[in-house]
Amino acid sequence: MSKKNNTKFTIIRALAAMGIALLVAFLLILVSADGAGVGEKFSNSIKALREMLVSPLFRKNGTFSMKNFSDVLAGMIPIMFTGLATCIMFSANQFNLGAEGGIMLGAFVTAVVAIYAPFDGPLLMVAAVLAGGLAVAVMMLIPAVLKATLGVSEMVNSLMLNYVIMYVLNFLMNSYLADTSKGITQTYAFKEKALIPQMINNGSRLSWGFMVGIIMVVLCWLFMYRTRWGYGIRMTGINQPFMMYSGMNVPMIIIISQVLGGFLAGMGGGIEMLGRYNVYNWSALPGYGWTGITVAILSGNNPIFVPLAAFFMSYLTKGCTLMSTNANVPAQLISIIQAVIFIFFAAQQFLSRYRQKLVVKSAQEELAAKKAAEAGEGGNA
């Protein structure tokens, strides 16, 4: 199939998946909407859906809302990092689901460094985020090495580690690190200069961490598509035995992909912490890891599409939040929409008949063009 048709198919398929998800969302909203009769319910649902889709950008009177828009951008920061992490791990066919625990551990380690480091200044900011990233990279050695040497499922191990991380961090908070003068469990404040400066001061908490995220997207793309190791990771994902027989160090690739993924997730946690908060107060897994998996699937495991996918997910999340405050539909609708989009994107055979038709059509066109060209040549001779 020609490249043009291929792109066309990809776009149509993506739109169809989103359409189905919105349809499901609409049906669920319809069920949950207030209203006496069917007509009233219907119009309320339309209102709620409009709220979800339009309000992240526009105010009620139709003018552009910078505040909401910057909220959406700020929401992209953590899921860009977990999305990148998952992209790299999934590219090597390593179904490591540890970005969820990873971002929490990274946030925690960064917070601890930002509070207790013996020095202060912009260097502390960098050091704290790197410490968060490195801590998670080391943590990911557990599932990675066990997979590479013993063949133990990285999926089960990373899932288990998520829970272990959450409980151990909560223990450390309760027993050692909590600021006991406060009513809720939180740490002491980070050092002033460790905080990442904001891009816009409107309360959206859109920090310069956003730009770091974009830079990491570019770096990851370069790594995956322009370096030997990136090639190794992608090829291991496509055909592991082939890589083994052609002499690549496959166990090393398996380890590197997960350690890198861990580093990115941890870094994301650190940047989220220093960009959005001034104390650490997470007591449960934040869910960014799971959204990161959705982002990775939507971007087809290609880092360059991660910002687009992250924007989409952040937009929908913001829309669902606004809808729940303004239209009385629970915000957790996002989980269901996310799952539906996710599953249709990942479905290889979704719209396969349509694809088949496109292939046939383009082949016929090619044949016809060839025939015409031959006829033309014949005429000239």
Q: Interface residues with another protein (CB under 8 A)?
A: 28, 31-32, 95, 97, 142, 146, 150-153, 155-157, 159-161, 163-164, 167-168, 170-171, 174-175, 287, 290, 293-294, 297, 329-330, 332-336, 338-340, 342-343, 346-350
Nearer to another protein, 138 or 155 (CB): 155
The contacts of residue 64 (CB under 8 Å, 6+ apart) are 57, 58
- To another protein, the closest distance from the beta carbon of 180 in angstroms equals 15
What is the 8-class DSSP label of residue 173?
Answer: I
Q: How far apart are CA 83 and CA 303, in angstroms?
A: 8
Nearer to another protein, 277 or 344 (CB): 344
**Ramachandran area for residue 59 (φ above 0: left; ψ -120 to 50: alpha; else beta):** beta
- To another protein, the closest distance from the beta carbon of 35 in angstroms equals 11
Nearer to another protein, 156 or 367 (CB): 156
**In angstroms, what is the C-alpha Rg of the chain?**
24
Q: In the chain, what is the straight-line distance between the N-terminal and C-terminal CA atoms, in Å?
A: 32
- To another protein, the closest distance from the beta carbon of 143 in angstroms equals 9
Nearer to another protein, 210 or 312 (CB): 312
The contacts of residue 271 (CB under 8 Å, 6+ apart) are 77, 78, 81, 129, 196, 207, 209, 212, 213
- To another protein, the closest distance from the beta carbon of 252 in angstroms equals 19
Nearer to another protein, 82 or 294 (CB): 294
- To another protein, the closest distance from the beta carbon of 91 in angstroms equals 13
For residue 137, what are its two tokens? Answer: 């990279």
CA distances from 176 to 19, 168, 170 (A): 49, 12, 10
